[in-house]
Structure formats: C-alpha cells, structure tokens
Amino acid sequence: MPQLFLNERSCETTADPERVNRAMTEMVKAVLAVAKEDRAGTRLFSREPVNALQLAQGHAIGKWIGTPGTRDLWLRLLRMQTKWPHREAFPEGETYSDVEYRHDGDTVDGLGAAHLTGGLAVSLPIEPRWDADRLTLVREELLDDADGGSALREVEVKHAARPEHVDTHLPWIRRGADAGRQKALEGIRTGTALWGLRSDLFPLLQFTPLAEQHFVELPEVWVRPVGERLGELQDAVSDWDPDRQPISPQWRSYVRPEFEGRRRLCWFPDTDGESRLFDWHCDFLPKPGRMHFRLLHEERTLRIAYVGRKLGV
C-alpha cells in the first residue's frame, strides 16, 4: 500500500505561474504513476485538503486546474483516496511528537511522515533540491533520559517529483501491491466480487464486456486461483516492452497459444462487438480451469474474454 506524503516545503516557493503549473503537472503525473501500479492501495496525504492547496506563494491550485491539459489529471487525482493532515497516516494514538525532521535546516513534516511510515514523499520540482528520487533528512529524536537530550542522525526517504523518479521505486511499489492483492484475494469468495475489484487489483488488464458473465458463473473453488493468475498476468504486462519482447511478455506461469486444431473454439466478441481470436491462455486449478485472452502490443497489455472450464471439455 503506497502511502504518499506531499512535501509542504515544495509549495512555499516564489516562482512564476508557468513554472509552478509545470511543476504541479510533473508531480501529479508521478503520483498517478504510483497509482497505476497499485490503484487500490495508493493514498495521498497532505497538510491540507488537496482542493485547498497553495502550490506557491499567491498561487492556489485553482490556477493550475484552469490551465489547458490539466483537467484529466485533476479528475484522476480527485478519484484517488486523499487524506489530511499527514498524521492521519500514523497508528492510532501515536503523534511522534518527540521526533523532528529537517532538510537544509528547514522543518519538513511531510517528508518526516513519509520516513516514519515507510512511505514515499512527493514534491513539486520547482527548486532543484526537490528534483531527486531520494532525499537525505536530519532526524532529531528526544531521548528519554535524565539529561533530556536528543539524538541526531541522517536518514534517507524515498521521493518522487517526476514520473521518472517513480521508475526507481517500482520494485518496492510492486512488492507492496502484490502483498495487498494477496490479502484482498483472501477475502473474496465469489466471481462477482472478483469482477467488481478487477480495476483496483488488476488495473493494467482489460476485459471484454461478455467476460463478466464468465466471472459471475465461477464456482468458489476457482475464484482465488483465477485471482492469482490475474495477478501474474498483471505483473507480466507491467514489465512488458514489446520492442524488446515482440512476441509476448515474460510470463510468471505457464502461458501459451492454443493448438491450431483448437483455435476454432477461441473466437469471442471483442469490446467493439467484432469476433476476434483469443487463443493465448493459461490454466488454473483444479483442472480443467482455463483463461483465454489476446495480446495488445500497441497498448502493452492483454484483454481477457473467457474464464471457466476448458473449452470443448
């Protein structure tokens, strides 16, 4: 579950409006790049409500929202779960009032919250010091002793201000997404519930409209195995570069095209109503469970048309 924390110090600069708007666009794209990997688990914490943010001195977020090309980014950001203030991410009853974080001598509550919770900090890349994938902070913690002193040490926090910064954290994000997905699958008992969570758990995968009925008809014994296969397919396409792998992604389980003699069974209506060949498939236990899909090289993903009993059996 990636918890993102907005660095409030990056919103306190003085810069020309165009530069501020460009920086906000870059940061939002970074946030959405994280959410793409774990749509269900990503949370954005800020000092104040997102729609009340000041992006720089005298520059309210409304000025960015009103610029051309930002409406879609803004709507996607609103659809995310956002919370405020930063301490909403802390365990119940914990305030961490004995700990303070600084960067270049400035107190940084958002960056500190990211370190305390093992999350990812995000900033507007207006100043060069925020344009990095990791930041070094000074942590000061009060000591519980008779002297009443404090301990200082340097710590590093994961950070992103642009989409390319997110790339360096993808393995960490994906490990968290996989753990969250496995936990969610443990509580799913019906194909209907699995279908309802498809966009959250498997955001990179596509499905034909008629695939829903196949999910609804899944016996309970197949629900979790199907969810696990979908997770493996999600992970495979997330790493897929068709230029380097022109045939298919690197699969996480046994995936292959159907034999020539059985391809006549693998035609299904696509999203546009046209019948197309969905001959790539994988198995799931207990036999004879099978899932059929086709690859979409230009979109770097796949589209699932069928899940259920092996066709023709």
Q: How confident is the model at residue 147, as a pLDDT?
A: 67
Q: Are 89 and 45 in contact (CB under 8 A)?
A: yes
The answer to whether 282 touches 307, Cβ cutoff 8 Å, is no
Q: If you ran DSSP here, which 8-state letter would residue 305 be given?
A: E
pLDDT at 146: 60
* Predicted TM-score (pTM) of this structure: 0.77
pLDDT by position in tens, the chain (length 313): 689 999 999 999 999 999 999 999 999 999 999 998 888 789 999 999 999 999 999 999 999 999 999 999 999 998 888 999 999 999 888 999 999 999 999 999 999 999 999 999 999 999 999 999 999 999 999 987 666 689 999 999 999 999 999 999 998 998 888 888 999 999 999 999 999 999 989 989 999 999 999 999 999 999 999 999 999 999 899 889 899 999 999 999 999 999 999 999 999 999 999 999 999 999 999 999 999 999 999 999 999 999 999 999 8
**Cβ(229)–Cβ(291) below 8 Å:** yes
Interatomic CA distance for residues 153 and 104, integer angstroms: 14
Q: What are the residue ranges spanned by the domains of the chain?
A: 3-167, 187-309
Q: Coil, helix or strand for 189?
A: coil
DSSP alpha helix (H) spans, 163-313: 163-167, 170-186, 191-196, 198-201, 211-216, 220-238
What pLDDT is stored for residue 149 in this prediction?
85
What is the C-alpha to C-alpha distance for residues 117 and 94, in angstroms, rounded to an integer? 11
